[in-house]
Amino acid sequence: MQVIKYSFQQHGDTRGQLVSLEEFNDIPFRIKRVYYVYDTLPNVRRGFHAHKSLEQIMICIHGKCKVLLDNGLEKKIVYLEKPYEGLYISNNIWREMYDFSEDAVLLVLASDLYHEEDYIRDYDEFLKFIASKN
């Protein structure tokens, strides 16, 4: 499984850093939704689902966390700890986010609005869904 991690351009000067993200220029899809996760308690694991169509970019804009990616055949662990790095997650990928630092803020850019019917929240169902696509 190929892990796609973007390193966004940082506009740094003597005042500090700024990162700007434009749809189709820096982000490979139209950004229809933005959400963020913070105040995550120790030992919490989130996610445990895949999306049928949604594409996302995850950016840990403060603190750090880990993301487990699973395409049904292979698993990869990705460290997110830089505010200028974005992890692209396509559809049909099971994801779990964990080991959040106390100060972690995980920002997510999504290609669509929130639709619960796009979620696959059962791992066996995910494997069957993947198998039906191949």
Active site residue ranges: 49
Does 108 engage in binding with ligand T46 (CB under 6 A)?
Answer: yes
Does 111 engage in binding with ligand T46 (CB under 6 A)?
Answer: no
Please pick, from the candidates 21, 31, 46, 92, the single residue that binds ligand T46 as defined by CB under 6 A.
Answer: 46
Which residues fall within 8 angstroms of residue 56, CB to CB, at 6 or more apart? 88, 89, 108, 109, 110, 111
Retrieve residue 100's tokens. Answer: 């959040």
Q: Which is nearer to ligand T46, 14 or 90 (CB)?
A: 90
b/e per residue 3-23 (b: at least 16 CB within 10 A): eeebebeeeeeeeeeebebee
Does 52 engage in binding with ligand T46 (CB under 6 A)?
Answer: no
Q: What are the two backbone dihedrals, phi and then psi, of residue 126, each rounded to the nearest 5 degrees?
A: -60, -45
Query: Measured from the CB of residue 12, what is the shortest distance to ligand T46 in angstroms?
Result: 28
Query: Measured from the CB of residue 10, what is the shortest distance to ligand T46 in angstroms?
Result: 24
Does 37 engage in binding with ligand T46 (CB under 6 A)?
Answer: yes
Q: Which is nearer to ligand T46, 11 or 32 (CB)?
A: 32
Query: What residue type is 69 in one-letter code?
Result: L
Q: What are the two backbone dihedrals, phi and then psi, of residue 125, each rounded to the nearest 5 degrees?
A: -65, -40
Number of residues that bind ligand T46 (CB under 6 A): 10
The residues binding ligand T46 (CB under 6 A) are: 33, 35, 37, 46-47, 56, 95, 97, 108, 114
